[in-house]
Each structure stands twice: as structure tokens, then as C-alpha cells.
Amino acid sequence: MTDEKARMLNGDPYDASDPELAVERERARDLTARYNDTAAGEDGTRRELLADLFGSVGENVAVEPPLRCDYGYNVHVGDGFYANFDCVLLDVRRIEIGRNCLIGPGTHVYTATHPIDPRERSEGLESGEPVTIGDDVWIGGKAVINPGVTVGDGSVIASGAVVVEDVPAGVVVGGNPATVVRELDGGE
């Protein structure tokens, strides 16, 4: 493993042009292109491709193509995971998604981030922060989950929400930036 990859995985600033990282991104592009070219009903092929791409895949997982990711191996999804069309997972750090999670179309989950200072940004270094999504979470279409966010079990992210802070368990959040809209009862 190169120093740059180790820095990336540790959340330290790293150079994404590192040759090992470039090869790994190309591998992910190849696997997602093959996945996105599958036809409806090719569930076995899709499962095999996801198992090759993602770090771990639970049982009864379905992802509607097209799917995009940076590396794939930093994505971990639990049993009963479902992602609708056009899901983007920028996984320079770990993306952990629990059991029975549903992701709406056009949803993006980002772990990659860049320096705020323009001088630092011009140096080309980037970094990342992990994202954790608990069990039984529903994320509406076109939502964006930003780096470093944790979403608690049983919560709902409204369509179009931009999540920039942690979401507690058992709530509905919406808006930009997302805020708690209401608390959920255990039966909802």
C-alpha cells in the first residue's frame, strides 16, 4: 500500500493522483460500467459484481443501475439494502450502511472533501471523513449526505435534503441544511 493510500484511508490529506489510487479508481469504473450494463433480471451477475466492487454486501441487496463510486471497497451495505437509480457513493473513506436501508433515486453520499483555503486547495490535496448510516433508514431521492455524517437508526431523510450534521435516531430531517422536522414514534 502506498503512503498516499494509507493517508486517504486514515483521513489525512493525500494526493489522489497517486498511481495506485488511479488504478483502483479505474478498477471501480470498470466494475460499475459492467454493473450498469446489466439487464433487468441479471440478479446473479449484479450480485457478483457488487461483491467484487463493495467492501461487504449483505443478503437481499438490490442496486438499480446506474451506480457510481470512487473505489467501491470502502462501501459496506447490510442485509435488505436497496438503492434506486443514479446513486453516487464517493467513498474515499468508509461508507457504512446498515440493514433494511432504502435510498431514493439520485441520492449522493460523499466522504471526499477539500480544503477551504484556496491556496491549500490549489496544492491538489484532498481528504475524507467516513459516513455511517444506521439500520432501517430511508433516504429520499436527490438527498445529499455530506462527509463525516452519521444517520441514526430508523430515521428518514426527506427528498432533496442536504445533510451536513449528524442525524439522531428516529427522526425525519429535511431542507438545506437539513434540520429535524419531527420525531418518529416507534411504530412509524
Residues recognised as catalytic: 114
In single-letter form, the type of residue at position 106 comes to: G
Cis before residue 177, ω within 30 degrees of 0? yes
Q: Which residues of 81-98 are buried (b: 16+ CB within 10 A; e: fewer)?
A: bbbbebbbbbbbbbbbbb
Dihedral angle of Cα 101, 102, 106, 108, to the nearest 10 degrees: -10
**Structure-block grid coordinates of residue 63:** 442496486
